[in-house]
Amino acid sequence: MIDDIYIFDNIIDSKAQKHIQDIFFNRVKYNFLPDVTSPDNKQQRPAFKHSINVKTDDLSDWHFDMCKVIDAACDKINFKRKDILQGRSFLQLPLNLKDKRIDAPHVDSDVDHMVVLYYVNDSDGDTVIYENKFEGYDKVPTFDKLKEKKRITPKSGRVLLFNGKHWHTSCQPEHNVRCVVNYNVV
């Protein structure tokens, strides 16, 4: 599995970027999440989620549009994907938070995988990747033990690829809507 962090701007042309913006801002049906950071609603950071079904006969209408992005990004690093574990989109609205702490770090899956994160629009709400890697759910690092490795600002048409074993998180947007499409591939 890769261990570098790769960032590619304009992985698809502007026409395709606008098409994806139209999909994820006008066509997709989202479900409300009381807290995007964790199921126990500790940080109270609401968001909207759209699951992109990749493992059923009920395949999302938008999956094949996103496969073009995934394949273009994987080709850039000569990564031959064998499978897609999951795909989903998150839409976060700007919040005026009293608690300015960063969102709770997480890993998307406990199996080896690569995260392919596509930024649908320009926004604040950086993605933060930590040097710390997942070692088991009984060894979740506390905020003071995390060491930041890279911070990436959302930009329309930008793709971020990194080893999914790295703890990572997003920052809540304060000024713009933040929309990303997140795939986990092996």
pTM of the model: 0.94
Q: Please give the sequence-ordered ranges of beta strands (E in DSSP) within the chain, or none if there are none.
A: 6-8, 31-33, 47-52, 84-92, 114-119, 127-133, 148-152, 159-163, 166-170, 178-185
6-185 has which CATH code? 2.60.120.620
Strands 6-8 and 159-163: what pairing?
antiparallel
Residue-wise pLDDT tens digits, 16-70 = 999 999 999 999 999 999 988 776 657 788 999 999 877 776 677 789 899 999 9
| Domain segments of the chain as ranges | 6-185
Can you tell me which residue has the tokens 């499409």?
Answer: 181
Give the tokens for residue 13. 């042309």
Give the tokens for residue 176. 């713009």
Residue-wise pLDDT tens digits, 101-147 = 688 899 999 999 999 999 999 999 999 999 999 999 889 898 899 99
Contact 78, 160 (CB under 8 A): no
